[in-house]
């Protein structure tokens, strides 16, 4: 794998992974808590199991969300993600995945975001090496979104 350094154009977006009890209203309560602090959910993916669910969230104000989660004792982790714009969901997605495969970097998981700037679809990806993967996608011509682009 080539050694390359990304020239920072901003801060990579942060994804929160929040552990929720698998019960009715748990996700709604979390979203209401964030909303009461004027934090918008920009992206959401939920993976559930019998006892617990993991909500992956991209938020409009990660710093305030971090403070709230710490103050309320809400179990969570954070990780950097790559966010790119796709012109077309089918061909654009396939090209992005082919670009990452050619660079020999793995996609751990991905989901679309609710934000649609200028009608473009946004895709969030947790990559094996987010810095490297973001650099590869940028060099391949994909529009990379940074935290500053997502915060409203």
pLDDT tens track of the chain, all 152 residues?
A: 333 444 457 889 999 999 998 788 899 999 999 999 999 999 999 987 778 889 999 999 999 999 999 999 999 999 999 999 987 666 888 899 999 999 999 999 999 998 777 777 899 999 999 999 999 999 999 999 998 888 76
Backbone angles phi, psi at 129, to 5 degrees: -135, 95
Q: Where in the chain is the domain with CATH 3.30.2130.10?
A: 14-80
Q: Where in the chain is the domain with CATH 3.30.70.260?
A: 82-150
* Residues 58, 62, 67: CA angle, nearest 5 degrees: 130
Burial class of residue 122 in the structure, from the number of CB atoms within 10 Å of its CB (0-12 exposed, 13-18 middle, 19+ buried): buried
Task: State the Cα–Cα distance between residues 33 and 99, nearest whole angstrom.
Answer: 38
pTM given for the model: 0.85
What pLDDT was estimated at residue 90?
Answer: 67
58 and 81 in contact (C-beta within 8 Å)? yes
**CATH T-level assignment (fold) for domain 14-80:** VC0802-like (3.30.2130)
Would you say domain 82-150 falls under CATH 3.30.70.260? yes
| Nearest partner of 1 among 148, 119, 131, 110, judged by Cα | 131
What pLDDT was estimated at residue 7?
Answer: 45
């Amino acid at each position: 794998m080539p050694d390359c350094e990304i020239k920072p154009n901003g801060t990579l977006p942060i994804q929160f992974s929040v552990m929720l009890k698998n019960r009715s209203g748990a996700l709604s309560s979390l979203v209401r808590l964030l909303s009461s602090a004027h934090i918008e959910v920009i992206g959401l993916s939920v993976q559930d199991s019998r006892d617990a669910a993991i909500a992956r969230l991209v938020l409009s104000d990660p710093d305030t969300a971090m403070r709230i989660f710490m103050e309320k004792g809400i179990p969570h982790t954070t990780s950097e993600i790559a966010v790119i714009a796709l012109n077309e969901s089918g061909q654009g997605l396939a090209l992005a995945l082919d670009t990452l495969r050619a660079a020999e970097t793995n996609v751990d998981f991905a989901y679309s975001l609710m934000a649609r700037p200028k009608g473009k679809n946004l895709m969030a990806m947790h990559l094996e090496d987010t810095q490297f993967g973001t650099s590869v996608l940028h060099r391949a011509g994909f529009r990379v979104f940074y935290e500053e682009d997502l915060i409203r």
